[in-house]
């Protein structure tokens, strides 16, 4: 059979794109290897709807995050899904972090973060988060939390409602050009498409190899592990408490988030995963690990960030280390307040041959195949806007 458009990947980006295409009248088929949608990055994150505080002005992240935040809010309102503006407080713990906080404030204002407040008054900080430590902060009152897995399922219902097809348990194992069309091979069936869009997340570089795309960027999986506050201690956190991030590293550091269902989780950290889907130290793949180690960028990356790597791994393995990181922000926190959760996420972090970690969204084109090569946070926030971007820049005029 010949379908007009095929999408590989049933995370929120792939399903948002399928929804946009199906609603404009295109025949769409989504191929998802798992037996449910949102099984990986989409269903294993903090649930934050980012307001755009950190991203370089003019970058795709900054532009699409701003557009996507409003779209997610409106979608949740339309579908009756929870959307809670709990607010985010980015805290400078001491004077050494104030210059970096100044840069976050500057970026936030250029990016149009709504109602941003700069705070240099300890009393005002305490009004927002009574239990937090710090000498200065920026507050984003409209940063929100949602349930991205539920949003993805609601989008999928819209896809099906207008005739789109979503096939679960269909892992793409090969892809080849046949004239002007593209054949996608799965264990269950083959599909011939006019165009294919790959939104494969943790496996995006693997699928890219099917069509001979540049091996770079490669995906380096980073696991983020969470602890949760015991229910009787969740009053220590009103909304979100974030650190001033290290500008040399694409991860934010351990932070506190009150979730959409009123739980409070602490984390994530960022440790190299031993498999693309390595949600714990016990899940490892010799093949995935070897591919990472032999990548040309492996040793330059290790030389640049080994100290941070040792610090993150030790906090992963030793609860007192993790607790120490968290307690810097909430001095009243006790180690007994933290309980282990089964939740962890694996971030599909793209990296280049020279060891550089890619920060912005990245898309490649190989013939009739569009490849989303890097879509880390805030991809869930930006998902509806990413769909519009892909259609405008890679799928128009209509095929």
Per-residue pLDDT tens digits for 292-313: 999 999 999 888 887 888 888 8
In DSSP notation, 334-381 reads: -GGGEEEEEEEEEEEEEE-TTSPBP-S-EEEEETTEEEEEE--TTHHH
Asked if pLDDT for residue 3 goes beyond 60, the answer is no
Instruction: Set out the domains of the chain in order of their start, with CATH numbers.
Output: 2-46+149-217+359-394 (3.50.50.60), 85-143+221-347 (3.30.9.10)
pLDDT at 2: 41
Helix H or strand E segment including 309: helix 298-317
Contact predicate 11/153, CB 8 Å? no
Is the preceding peptide bond at 363 cis, omega within 30 degrees of 0?
no
List the beta bridge partners of residue 195.
5
- For residue 355, give every residue at least 6 positions away whose Cβ sits within 8 Å of its Cβ, in sequence order, or none: 296, 297, 298, 299, 300, 301, 302, 303, 304
**pLDDT tens digits for 34-73?**
999 999 999 999 999 999 999 999 999 999 999 999 999 9
Distance, CA of 172 to CA of 192 (rounded, Å): 12
HSE-CB for 85 with a 13 A CA cutoff? 13
**pLDDT tens digits for 324-351?**
999 999 999 999 999 988 679 999 999 9
**pLDDT tens digits for 207-240?**
999 999 999 999 999 999 999 999 999 999 999 9
Asked if pLDDT for residue 200 goes beyond 50, the answer is yes
Asked if pLDDT for residue 1 goes beyond 80, the answer is no
Contact predicate 84/257, CB 8 Å? no
Mean pLDDT of 370-386: 97
**pLDDT tens digits for 91-136?**
999 999 999 999 999 999 999 999 999 999 999 999 999 999 999 9
Distance, CA of 42 to CA of 165 (rounded, Å): 20
Closest CA to 99 of 67, 136, 63, 129: 136
For the chain, state the CA radius of gyration. 21
pTM for this model (two decimals):
0.95
Distance, CA of 111 to CA of 105 (rounded, Å): 10
Contact predicate 143/48, CB 8 Å? yes
Distance, CA of 275 to CA of 60 (rounded, Å): 28
């Amino acid at each position: 059979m010949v379908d007009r458009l095929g999408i590989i990947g049933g995370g929120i980006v792939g399903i948002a794109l399928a929804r946009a295409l199906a609603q404009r009248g295109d025949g769409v088929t989504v191929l998802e290897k798992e037996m449910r949608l949102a099984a990986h990055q989409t269903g294993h994150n903090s649930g934050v709807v980012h307001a755009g505080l950190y991203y370089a002005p003019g970058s795709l992240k900054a532009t699409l995050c701003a557009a996507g935040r409003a779209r997610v809010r409106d979608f949740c309102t339309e579908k009756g899904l929870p959307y809670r503006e709990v607010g985010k407080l980015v805290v400078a713990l001491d004077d050494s972090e104030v210059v970096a906080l100044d840069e976050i404030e500057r970026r936030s204002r250029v990016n149009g973060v709504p109602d941003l407040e700069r705070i240099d008054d300890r009393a005002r900080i305490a009004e927002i988060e009574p239990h937090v430590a710090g000498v200065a902060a920026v507050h984003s009152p409209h940063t929100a939390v949602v349930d991205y897995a539920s949003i993805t399922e609601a989008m999928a219902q819209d896809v099906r409602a207008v005739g789109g097809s979503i096939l679960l348990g269909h892992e793409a194992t090969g892809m080849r050009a046949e004239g002007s069309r593209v054949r996608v091979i799965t264990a269950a069936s083959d599909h011939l498409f006019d165009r294919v869009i790959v939104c494969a997340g943790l496996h995006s570089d693997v699928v890219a190899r099917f069509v001979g795309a540049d091996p770079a960027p490669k995906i380096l999986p980073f696991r983020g592990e969470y602890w949760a506050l015991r229910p009787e201690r969740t009053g220590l956190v009103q909304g979100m408490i974030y650190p001033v991030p290290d500008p040399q590293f694409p991860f934010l550091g351990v932070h506190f988030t009150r979730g959409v269902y009123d739980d409070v989780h602490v984390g994530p950290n960022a440790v190299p995963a031993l498999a693309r889907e390595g949600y714990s130290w016990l899940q490892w793949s010799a093949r995935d690990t070897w591919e990472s180690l032999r990548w040309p960028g492996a040793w330059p990356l290790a030389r640049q960030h080994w100290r941070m790597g040792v610090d993150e791994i030790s906090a992963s393995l030793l609860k007192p280390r993790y607790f120490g990181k968290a307690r810097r922000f909430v001095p009243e926190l006790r180690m007994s307040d933290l309980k282990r959760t089964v939740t962890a996420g694996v971030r599909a972090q793209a990296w280049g041959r020279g060891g550089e970690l890619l920060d912005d969204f990245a898309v490649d084109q190989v013939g009739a195949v569009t490849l989303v090569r890097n879509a880390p946070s805030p991809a869930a926030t930006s998902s509806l806007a990413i769909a519009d971007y892909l259609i405008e820049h890679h799928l128009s005029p209509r095929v």
